[in-house]
Amino acid sequence: MLYTITFNPAIDLVLKVPDFKLGDLNRVKQTDYVAGGKGINMAIILKELGNDVVASGFLGGFSQSFIVDELAKLSVSSHFIEVDGVTRINVKLKTGVETEINGSGPVISTDKQQELNQWLKDSIKPNDVILLAGNVATGMSAENYRQIAKIAQDNGVDFVVDTIGEQLKVCLPYRPLLIKPNKEELEDLLSVTIHSDDELVQHAKELQHKGAQNVIISLGKDGAILVSASGKVLKASSPKGILVNSVGAGDSMVAGFTSALNDGKSEEEAFKQAVACGSATAFSTGIANRVMIDKLLPEVSITPF
């Protein structure tokens, strides 16, 4: 079983307004409501790839039923801890450029944090994988990330972490299976300025020395670099396509890599699937489906760096 944890899920309210005018009345051409949050995005991709997955985290208020129902439509099981307050709504404004306005979400009490931890301890078994992604909710801190990492280590299961800053830093000693910083996040984490791909690799190896097993550095349209647990350094080129949606592409990449390793595939195969999943979401209006992923998979080329 794979478990995704999203501390601060959201409903993404996507508004398409082609001729947006600030300070004026604007009429929306298209409105979409999407269950959002990094772990939720990962759960959708993992299910598309044929995995047994449970999406978890915290939900509250009128918006929680929408998220649970949307996941159920995609055959994604869920177990969210119900909290006081209302799960946040994020506005994604598409006007030719993408503008995001993210809500803050409810305050998560210590009791609810402990309830999630206990449920996870009671649920996980050997060979399971935990995917922990996104930012913490109000009332939480990097310590919550560390607690989940320790639960994984204490129970002998792999965990993947996709977050930034101190939240990522505290997880490294627990040897996460995968982390996926981009260049800017890597610079911020290590307080460096990076000028070349060679320096990216150098600093990715530094994160391995701190505990990370596999490090994927996303390069956007230029592909990605993998510094693998076995010591290989690989570069992937992205398939050609039109960018439709940047939301969830990185989450899809993480899910694709994790799914492949969980299926016993090689690092090269896992990296190839990761880039195909990320690109498929980038070229789709929402999170990618299996058909698009399979179509793009042969177009991803992997070469030694």
List the 224-227 sheet strands across, edge first.
Answer: 77-82, 53-59, 2-6, 129-133, 158-162, 178-179, 214-218, 224-227, 233-237, 301-304
What angle is formed at CA 295 by the lines to CA 289 and CA 299, rounded to 5 degrees?
130
Write down the pTM of the prediction: 0.94
User: Which residues are the active-site residues?
Assistant: 251
Q: What residue spans of the chain are helical by DSSP H? A: 38-48, 63-73, 110-123, 142-154, 165-169, 183-190, 197-209, 249-262, 267-282, 290-296
Q: Six-digit token pair at 193?
A: 């300025």
Contact 73, 289 (CB under 8 A): no
- Say which residues have a Cβ less than 8 Å from residue 102's Cβ, sequence separation at least 6: 10, 88, 90, 91
Distance CA(227)–CA(178), nearest Å, equals: 10
Q: Six-digit token pair at 210?
A: 């701190």
Contact 145, 136 (CB under 8 A): yes
- Helices 38-48 and 249-262 cross at an angle (nearest 10°) of 50
Q: Which residues make up the CATH 3.40.1190.20 domain(s) of the chain?
A: 1-19+29-177, 181-305
Q: Which CATH number fits domain 1-19+29-177: 3.40.1190.20, 3.40.190.10, 2.40.50.140, 3.40.50.2300?
A: 3.40.1190.20
CA-to-CA separations, 46 to 163, 174, 190, 277, in angstroms, rounded: 18, 23, 30, 10
CA-to-CA separations, 50 to 74, 129, 159, 189, 250, in angstroms, rounded: 12, 15, 19, 34, 19
CA-to-CA separations, 41 to 44, 103, 234, in angstroms, rounded: 5, 18, 25
pLDDT at site 288: 95
pLDDT at site 96: 86
Percent of residues, the chain, with pLDDT higher than 70: 100
Distance CA(220)–CA(182), nearest Å, equals: 9
How many beta carbons lie within 10 A of that of residue 196, not counting itself? 8
- If 0-12 CB within 10 Å is exposed, 13-18 middle and 19+ buried, where does residue 7 land? buried
How many beta carbons lie within 10 A of that of residue 116, not counting itself? 22
Q: Six-digit token pair at 304?
A: 């030694």
pLDDT at site 112: 98
How would you write the pLDDT of the chain (305 residues) with one tens digit per residue? 999 999 999 999 999 999 999 999 999 999 999 999 999 999 999 999 999 999 999 999 999 999 999 999 999 999 999 999 999 999 989 898 889 899 989 999 999 999 999 999 999 999 999 999 999 999 999 999 999 999 999 999 999 999 999 999 999 999 999 999 999 999 999 999 999 999 999 999 999 999 999 999 998 888 999 999 999 999 999 999 998 888 899 999 999 999 999 999 999 999 999 999 999 999 998 899 999 999 999 999 999 99
CATH fold, domain 181-305, is UDP-N-acetylmuramoyl-L-alanine:D-glutamate ligase (3.40.1190)
